[in-house]
Amino acid sequence: MKQTFYKYQGTGNDFVMIDNRQHVFDKNNTERVKFLCDRRFGIGADGLILLEDHPEYDFKMVYYNADGNESSMCGNGGRCLVAFAKQLGVISNKAVFEATDGVHHASIDGEIVKLQMLDVDTIEKYENHVFLNTGSPHHVQFEIQIEDFDIKSKGATIRYGEPYNTAGSNVNFVKKQSDTTFRVRTYERGVEGETLSCGTGVTAVAIAMHYIGETQEKHVILNVEGGELEVCFDFENDTYNNVWLIGSATFVYKGSI
């Protein structure tokens, strides 16, 4: 059976998109998802996303990691899905959709998609890192030699180590470039390696940097391997709210497999 798919990328974080409003995709076929995301034998992607109907909102987002397992929120994936929804004619310039972590609002102007993320009211600060959940769990720590740092081995050690163990955490390595700009490289669980960009990751970094006093700004620029993202937020009553992830979401190609 042929499967029509669309390929999108957001600052190098790439996704296989499938219109599943007619329930054409077997959501329980983990091996099929893994195959489609495989860069040698399938299409190749960091994850696979289904767009489905929703009784109250514009659509529903169902996200799978490249390992075939349904996963937590993906910020760049959510932004790409908004662009996909516009291409399908499901939305015009604004969207409200449901993902695994709740309801999200978004807007699109050309290739720039703004996605509202979760409020964050719990941040754990340790001696050499910060941990928080921005829809997905994120470990954030500074790394001076970020350009030639072995992300895969160091990231895997942290991802599988204490206290994360089996559930694991995404791991972000950060270098400060200015009061408003940070360089970020991310080891992503489910991909089990570095991705060129991670939306929930840069959101976590921006909030963490403000929380520990590395920036006083509430509009932060994050330079990732695949380009540039922006995160803006408000901070009221010990809660980060009105959090927005901003960046490009680009259609790459359509095909069948």
Tokens at residue 23, please? Answer: 């329930």
Rg (CA), the chain: 17
Domain(s) labelled CATH 3.10.310.10 in the chain stretch across 4-114+249-256, 123-244
d(CA 195, CA 146): 14
Enter the pTM of the model: 0.96
d(CA 194, CA 190): 11
pLDDT string in tens for the chain (257-residue length): 899 999 999 999 999 999 999 999 999 999 999 999 999 999 999 999 999 999 999 999 999 999 999 999 999 999 999 999 999 999 999 999 999 999 999 999 999 999 999 999 999 999 999 999 999 999 999 999 999 989 999 999 999 998 898 788 999 999 999 999 999 999 999 899 999 999 999 999 999 999 999 999 999 999 999 999 999 999 999 999 999 999 999 999 999 99
CATH architecture for residues 4-114+249-256:
Roll (3.10)
Name the strand (E) or helix (H) holding 81.
Answer: helix 75-88
CATH architecture for residues 123-244:
Roll (3.10)
Residue 37 annotated in active site: no
Tokens at residue 21, please? Answer: 């409003």
Q: Helices H, strands E: what count in the chain?
A: 4, 17
